[in-house]
Amino acid sequence: MHANRDPAPDDIAALKEALTVERAKGLEIAAELAVARAKASEDEALIAQQRLQIAKLKHQIYGQRSERSSRLIEQLALTFEELEADAIEDELAAERAVAKTTTVRGFTRKRPERQTFPEHLPRERVVIDPPTACECCGSNRLRKLGEDVTRTLEVVPRQWKVIETVREKFSCRDCEKISQPPAPFHAIARGWAGPSLLAMIVFEKFGQHQPLNRQAERYALEGVPIALSTMADAVGACCTVLEPLSRLLEAHVMAAERLHGDDTTVPVLALGKCDVARCWVYVKDDRPFGGSDPPAAMFYYSRDRSGEHPQAHLANYTGILQADAFGGYIKLYEPARSPGLIREAACWVHARRPFFAMADLEENARRKAAGKKEIVISPVAMEIVRRIDALFEIERSINGQNADQRRAVRQAQSAPLVADLEAYMREQCAKLSRGHDLAKAMNYMFKRWTSFTRFLDDGRVCLSNNAAERALRGIALGRKSWLFCGSDRGGRRAAAMYSLIVSAKMNAVDPQAWLADVLARIATHPAHRLDELLPWNWKTAQQQGLAAQAA
């Protein structure tokens, strides 16, 4: 059986030499396998990166093609993150394996060119001590030819400090009167916390959805124990201080020609149980029709979803309201309403969803792969989805143009498509029973057809209510972290802070930096110039200040 195998040597020296050779071969094989594994990991990471880029570009160019596109991008990002980490681990393992051999060629991943570090970041120059003598001949007659600079991005850990504000007292030698400078103003009573610390606590709680108890644990680990009650007092005081800004923000939002409205659930702690309250949002965003007013969002809290709440929120509003078909909005659309008419603009995304559910081929493929029962695919639903998507394709081409231009394009291109869609749906609906899911989805649109077609005659109207849904997205994510509001007053405080933070984000303003500056200045800021502290005006002032410094 083993006749062809070379006989083993008899002497010990030969055995040692053979063992050394076999070990070297084993190391070479292991190194080759490690390099191959690293190359495969690099390819997988590259494919995942390209898939993620393609998904983001499709989302950017074509918009939300399906209700799961945002979640898909998040899943692709997570996959890429894990594969990238695997690739660097395999690369390092290959380097260690190759270092043990002399015949296997090493492997280095091809990395994209690193982005240039932002110019506004401070630079710290660290110069390594130069040689004092030539490494070749030992001569000390050295001349500098140049230098190589390696740039590394670093972060300074959070630093805590106590600021001691000293007010010296002086007495008059003539009249013995004591003189002392006045105490500085503080954002909250007794001023135990500086504005940057207050802004961090408030933003972490309402912007990053980190409850105060988790913040307190983190601060204690950093050597700064702060009582939970003390932090809660600070949050309440900050909300009170910022209330005038909330009122100015509300006035700005309610002056909009068109509003997006929506609501979401908010768990609230009750006696022995957890109730389900609501958080409402109204978004002013004129950018789709070329408006110059800054975007902003106003949040409200209520214990239930009664129609009296949106009616109270919009009691003084007149204009266009883009929202879903919630019954609580009906009284707002009455012609005899005081102080004026609110016109309803329906959301085509809401109308599209039931049709899409009956035309989702990708979901059926996933169900089939998982061995689950497949949904019934409707050719009629697929055709309706195709026609609605054609309307959104036109909308993407006119996004950002003024209202008149948008109306002209819609009259020329969208109006014929809408007329054909209505005729097609009425023809198909007549063939279906009243209780059919398709018939229900069609009747939902037929009952509100005037609202659905309002965009054809008014360039300010959008096809979707996505602006409001985007504003509520943070709350939906935060629910997993903070679980519930502690009380109704806590819900109202949260709504007020959401308004400020989300509005800052909509204007590309860092909410924490803005809050820190506002809290430092608001106590001494003139009341008649309070609008200067609104996020968009604050941003303009900051940019002008930087431009003046650069000049």
Exposure string for 92-101, b = 16+ CB within 10 A, e = fewer = ebbbebbeeb
Mean pLDDT of the chain: 86
Q: Which two tokens stand for residue 386?
A: 């195709």
In the chain, % of residues over pLDDT 90: 45
> Which residues are CB-neighbours of 46 under 8 A, at least 6 positions away?
none
Max avg pLDDT among 27-36, 69-78, 145-154, 534-543 = 534-543
What letter does residue 268 receive in the DSSP assignment? E
Between 221 and 150, whose confidence is greater? 221
pLDDT of residue 80: 74
| Residue 75 counted as domain residue | yes
Q: Which two tokens stand for residue 74?
A: 């998040």
In the chain, % of residues over pLDDT 70: 91
Handedness of CA 501, 506, 511, 517 (dihedral sign): negative
* Domain with 36 in it: 19-99
| Residue 63 counted as domain residue | yes
Angle, helices 511-521/488-506, rounded to nearest 10 degrees? 110
When pLDDT is cut at 50, 70 and 90, the band that residue 496 belongs to is very high
Q: What CA–CA distance (Å, rounded) separates 29 from 32? A: 5
Between 144 and 201, whose confidence is greater? 201
Question: Can you count the helices (H) and strands (E) in the chain?
Answer: 18, 7
Q: What CA–CA distance (Å, rounded) separates 459 from 405? A: 7
> Which residues are CB-neighbours of 476 under 8 A, at least 6 positions away?
264
91-97, Cβ contacts within 8 angstroms, sequence gap of 24 or more: 91/38, 91/41, 91/42, 93/34, 93/37, 93/38, 94/31, 94/34, 94/35, 94/37, 94/38, 96/34, 97/27, 97/30, 97/31, 97/33, 97/34, 97/35
The answer to whether 396 and 63 are in contact (CB under 8 A) is: yes
Convert 269-296 into a string of H (helix), E (strand) and C (coil).
EECCEEEEEEEEEEEECCHHHCCCCCCE
The answer to whether 349 and 464 are in contact (CB under 8 A) is: yes
> Which residues are CB-neighbours of 214 under 8 A, at least 6 positions away?
none
Between 123 and 406, whose confidence is greater? 406
- At 227 the three-state DSSP class reads coil
Q: What CA–CA distance (Å, rounded) separates 201 from 361? A: 46
pLDDT of residue 7: 66
| Residue 81 counted as domain residue | yes
Q: Which two tokens stand for residue 107?
A: 């492997």
When pLDDT is cut at 50, 70 and 90, the band that residue 1 belongs to is very low
Q: What CA–CA distance (Å, rounded) separates 87 from 76? A: 16
pLDDT of 65 > 60? The answer is no
pLDDT of residue 398: 95
Q: What CA–CA distance (Å, rounded) separates 314 from 260? A: 12
pLDDT of 484 > 70? The answer is no
| Nearest partner of 321 among 343, 295, 300, judged by Cα | 343
pLDDT of 72 > 80? The answer is no
pLDDT of residue 418: 97
Q: What CA–CA distance (Å, rounded) separates 318 from 271? A: 39
Instruction: List phi, psi (to 5°) of 382.
Output: -60, -40
List, for residues 302-327, the tens digit of each pLDDT value: 999 999 999 999 999 999 999 998 99
Task: Over range 342-368, report the average pLDDT.
Answer: 87
List, for residues 140-195, the tens digit of each pLDDT value: 888 888 888 877 777 777 889 998 888 899 898 888 898 988 888 887 767 788 99
| Number of folded domains that form the chain | 1
Q: Among 309-323, 325-339, 362-376, whose mean pLDDT is lowest? A: 362-376
List, for residues 509-538, the tens digit of each pLDDT value: 999 999 999 999 998 899 999 999 999 999
List, for residues 98-144, the tens digit of each pLDDT value: 888 878 787 777 765 555 677 778 888 888 888 888 888 888 888 88
pLDDT of 476 > 90? The answer is no
Task: Over range 5-12, report the average pLDDT.
Answer: 68
| Residue 285 counted as domain residue | no
| Residue 373 counted as domain residue | no
| Residue 550 counted as domain residue | no
| Residue 251 counted as domain residue | no
| Residue 36 counted as domain residue | yes
Task: Over range 325-354, report the average pLDDT.
Answer: 92
Task: Over range 280-289, report the average pLDDT.
Answer: 95
Handedness of CA 87, 90, 92, 98 (dihedral sign): negative
Q: What is the CA radius of gyration of the chain?
A: 33
Max avg pLDDT among 155-159, 227-231, 390-394, 481-485 = 390-394
pLDDT of residue 454: 96
